[in-house]
Amino acid sequence: QLQESGPGLMKPSETLSLTCSVSGGSISSSSFYWGWIRQPPGKGLEWVGTLFYTGSTYYNPSLKNRATIFVDTSKNQFSLRLRSVTAADTATYYCASGNTFDVWGQGTQVTVSS
């Protein structure tokens, strides 16, 4: 199971930090891929980025190098940081596992507003 946690409400220019807690297995062995996907209100799904078990990371170019994904194996979780947020980053953020996103968290709503 995956469970996202995050700040809920943020101001423009701040750094968004989201965490995905993994339960029911070790993050080091239960999947090779760990990803983040977001969905703005009323819109479609957008891939944000993915962490491969080797430590390699892949990001959506549209984020213009603002995103960082990293893992904390001691806490069995992985995280997303998104710098310099704007209203366009308002979305429900999902974490998911696997190359085909076979397991998803329930999502966490993030609103960017001044």
Partner 1 sequence: DIQMTQSPSSLSASVGDRVTITCRASPGVRNDLVWYQQKPGKAPERLIYATSTLQSGVPSRFSGSGSDTEFTLTISSLQPEDFATYYCLQHNSYWTFGQGTKVEMK
Q: Which residues bind partner 1 (CB under 8 A)?
A: 35, 37, 44-47, 50, 58, 60-61, 94, 99-102, 104-107
Of 47 and 53, CB closest to partner 1: 47
- Are the beta carbons of 48 and 38 closer than 8 angstroms? yes
Burial class (CB in 10 A: 0-12, 13-18, 19+), 73: exposed
Closest approach of partner 1 to the CB of residue 4, in Å:
10
Question: Around Cβ 69, how many Cβ atoms within 10 Å?
Answer: 23
Minimum gap (Å) between residue 70 Cβ and partner 1: 18
Q: Which is nearer to partner 1, 41 or 55 (CB)?
A: 41
Measured from the CB atom, the residue of 17 and 98 that comes closer to partner 1 is: 98
Least Å distance, CB 26 to partner 1, is 22
Residue closest to 94 by CA, chosen among 39, 50, 57: 39
Of the candidates 19, 2, 29, 32, the one whose C-alpha atom is nearest the C-alpha of residue 104 is 2
Q: How far is the CB of 40 from partner 1 (least distance, A)?
A: 12
Are 70 and 37 a contacting pair, CB within 8 Å? no
Nearer to partner 1, 86 or 99 (CB): 99
